[in-house]
Amino acid sequence: MSPTRILLLTNSEHGQANVFLATSHALLTLPRPHNDDDDDIPEVHFASFPPISKFVAQTSHHALSSSPSSHPIVFHPISGLPMLQAWSRPEFEAERDGSRHAQGIRTAWRKMQVLLRVTLPWTGPEFMEIFHSVAEIIRRVNPHITAVDPAFAPALTAVRHLGVHYLILSPNTIKDFAMPFQPNLEALWRYPCVGSAFAFPIPVRWVPLNLLLVLLALLAGAWDGHRRRLGEFVRVHGGGARLTSLNELSLGPPDGGVKVLVANRLALEFPLKVLPRHVVPCGPIIRPARGVGEVDGEMAGWLRGGPTVYVNLGTHVMMSEESAVEMATALRILLDHARGARWRGRGMEGLRVLWKLAVEGEGEGEGERGESRVYRILGRDVESGAVRIVRWIEAEPTAVLEEENVVCAVHHGGANSFLETASAGIPQVVLPVWMDTFDFARRAELLGIGRWGNKMSQKTGAPWGGELGNVLIEVLLGPESTRIKERARELAQLCRQNGGGRVIAAKMILRESKEDDMLSQSSGPD
């Protein structure tokens, strides 16, 4: 009997790939019977584009250090253009600046078209190159079970066309797959349309506008000319293959009883009345990382200097100079307020800020002096070491969040950022940038674990530094700050139950592979 072969198929962007890296680590380190032999040790095959290969190797090495009897992860490079490179082309007009507004009627159509192209950014020939590469890897590995990234349309199309046993492994939320199953058409009038800034449940006066936004989203998908042309190209050049993308998965269950494993759980979600049978909440699927002290001893020493606010708006959010100035203004307000005599003894003495800042073009950054507008606002704290502005942090975000002195995280509302912070038990302040990030800002408030940092400013277009500064004060020092901290810790304990999401996902994948093996044996000759 040969080992169970598991194939993981994902885009190489960390927003999608991190759940696969985390799950592959869990697959290698799951406890096994004391009498296990090689047949009980799964073979993990990881297929993606070359940029992620070094992180796969790091994950494998990390797992083998605690489970030396496991097989190393086998990496299979996929030929073709990675998704980020494809949708970074100028025609996509990607929105990267954290000062953008939520969508309204005037912007909804264009934003939905951008969203549709982001998940299908390839031309026909580019798509088919990836499709054929994935198909060849599947034939070579001959996996017992395949886990697929829902945003990786060429791989979804290939596994469906080849008829392999597969499931979906998703960093997305339960809501993203459960909306069509809610009773009484609640998806239309109770839950905010993706990209909107509406409250939950939607106030009655805003229901007509939400209905219109949902209708525009559906029409944008139905009338998407790029998708139609790409689907025809795939059918002709893929032997009759049917184009499959995230859009289909969000509108209904995959055919054949395919399960969708999500890095979310009901306690971290908008209240739902129906959980579809095919959706399996695993909880946050967090990639284990080496501690800050192992990676960067100097940074670890600095973090030990006092309570720290960690500002990281993600890899793809490039701040304009004006936005960087607004952030600096907010931090100035917080630091000045926290140093007031009335807050002594509240645990915020020596408050610090670690700010990972990515800017558009040249300008603000670590070590900038003189005419820098950010430096003019924060300069004295940069000089004293209370504020550290960096372009890059060697340690993984999860490692920084696990540091004892990190007391609040400011991020853009990406799924990974939200769930990593929730798992660390730290209050969070969200500055949503695009589409589903507005949902995560709303979740932070609904769950009582943080605040939307620039809600009013995004509605009015006004400068947001003052609003964010006051929100940070509220979260760290306000009347509700103790309750926010306690609630964040409670949810973190829940996220870690049963080994956490990565262990639950790994066990589900192994269970599915065993079921497939039993079915294949039962269908064999008598």
Per-residue buried b or exposed e for 316-340, using 16+ beta carbons within 10 Å of the residue's own CB: bbbbbbebbbbbbbbbbbbbebbee
Do residues 259 and 298 share a domain?
no
- What integer pLDDT is reported at residue 253 of this predicted model? 72
Q: Indicate the number of domains in the chain.
A: 2
Do residues 491 and 368 share a domain?
yes
Task: Tell me the CA distances in angstroms from 259 to 41, 81, 137, 169, 253, one per residue in order.
Answer: 23, 28, 22, 9, 8
Do residues 344 and 361 share a domain?
yes
| Concatenated DSSP letters of 310-356 | EEE--SS-PBPHHHHHHHHHHHHHHHHHHTSGGGTTTT-TT-EEEEE
Distance from chain centroid for Cα 77: 23
Do residues 301 and 351 share a domain?
yes
- What integer pLDDT is reported at residue 107 of this predicted model? 62
- What integer pLDDT is reported at residue 340 of this predicted model? 72
Do residues 359 and 453 share a domain?
yes
Residue 447 lies in a domain: yes
The three-state secondary structure class of 169 is: strand
Joined tokens for residue 11: 């885009």
Do residues 445 and 513 share a domain?
no
Residue 99 lies in a domain: no
Residue 107 lies in a domain: no
Q: What φ, ψ does residue 11 adopt, rounded to 5°? A: -65, 165
94 Cβ neighbours under 8 A, 6+ residues apart: 87, 88, 114, 118, 316
Do residues 434 and 513 share a domain?
no
**Is 418 within 8 Å of 443 (Cβ atoms)?**
yes
Do residues 270 and 334 share a domain?
no
- What integer pLDDT is reported at residue 250 of this predicted model? 76
Residue 361 lies in a domain: yes
- What integer pLDDT is reported at residue 342 of this predicted model? 60
Residue 58 lies in a domain: yes
Please measure the distance between the N-terminal and C-terminal CA atoms of the chain and give it in whole angstroms: 19
Query: What CATH number does residue 249 fall under?
Result: 3.40.50.2000
Residue 439 lies in a domain: yes
Instruction: Give the structural domain span for 429.
Output: 292-495
Do residues 281 and 296 share a domain?
no
- What integer pLDDT is reported at residue 33 of this predicted model? 63
- Helices then strands, each counted (H, E), the chain: 22, 13
Residue 13 lies in a domain: yes
- What integer pLDDT is reported at residue 31 of this predicted model? 85
Joined tokens for residue 186: 């609640």
Q: Is the peptide bond before 77 cis (omega within 30 degrees of 0)?
A: no
Do residues 392 and 459 share a domain?
yes
Do residues 266 and 307 share a domain?
no
| Concatenated DSSP letters of 350-419 | T-EEEEE--BSSSS--TT--TT-HHHHHHHHHHHHTSEEEES--SS-HHHHHTSTTEEEEEE---HHHHH
Segment-wise mean pLDDT, segments of 10 residues, the chain, 526 residues = 89 92 96 63 95 95 91 97 84 47 58 72 95 97 96 95 94 90 92 84 91 83 85 94 86 79 94 93 93 94 94 80 92 89 64 88 46 85 93 92 95 92 96 86 95 87 90 94 96 92 95 68 40
Place of tokens 């912070």: 421
Joined tokens for residue 99: 């000062």
Q: What φ, ψ does residue 179 adopt, rounded to 5°? A: -60, -45
Residue 451 lies in a domain: yes
**Is 396 within 8 Å of 306 (Cβ atoms)?**
no
Do residues 392 and 439 share a domain?
yes
